[in-house]
Amino acid sequence: MEEIKLYRLKDGNGYTKVGTDEELISYHNDYVINSNNFKENEIKDAMAKVLTDLDEYWDVEHFYTVPLYAIVENSPRYKERIHTIEQLWQCIQNGYTYSESQIHMKAFLDGKTTAKRLVVIDKESV
């Protein structure tokens, strides 16, 4: 059975990046080249070829597998499944928790969307 595995990269500061193994390897390699965190002589050794190469630099977590049989193009629910996958991907990109993703999916089914909001409050209110 063919499938798409999704992984999450986390660094020590809470930054998260989500994607397939190829996307995350590419992201890491771009980071190595462009971040100025690696000296010229360190870049070659820091480049990743396989997902396990990232373990030295990131916390790597496999968190979801999408079976491709679920998105067979000729199936009657194909478009619905594609829209669901797109919305779940949006939840991942927005960093939504499971509960927030449930709210987002309900809003999507009602023809709406969601957004996180940063609110400034007085220190005394905390």
| pLDDT digit string, tens, across residues 2-11 | 788 888 888 8
Q: Are both 95 and 124 inside the same structural domain?
A: yes
Segment 100-116 mean pLDDT: 86
Looking at residue 72, what is its pLDDT?
A: 63
Q: Are both 66 and 79 inside the same structural domain?
A: no
Decide which of 56, 71, 86 is a domain's last residue. 71
Q: Are both 87 and 115 inside the same structural domain?
A: yes
Q: Are both 22 and 61 inside the same structural domain?
A: yes
Looking at residue 29, what is its pLDDT?
A: 95
Q: Are both 1 and 60 inside the same structural domain?
A: yes
Looking at residue 47, what is its pLDDT?
A: 96
Measured between alpha carbons, how far is 53 from 32 in angstroms, rounded to an integer?
Answer: 13
Q: Are both 34 and 7 inside the same structural domain?
A: yes
| H/E segment holding residue 95 | none
Q: Are both 37 and 84 inside the same structural domain?
A: no
Q: Are both 29 and 53 inside the same structural domain?
A: yes
Q: Are both 53 and 93 inside the same structural domain?
A: no
Q: What total number of domains does the chain contain?
A: 2
Domain residues for 82? 74-126
Looking at residue 125, what is its pLDDT?
A: 65
> Dihedrals φ, ψ of 116, to 5°?
-85, 150
Which residues are within 8 A (CB) of 53 and not within 5 positions of it... i.e. 6 or more apart?
A: 25, 28, 47
* Residues 65-98: tens digit of each pLDDT: 877 665 566 766 777 777 888 888 888 888 887 7
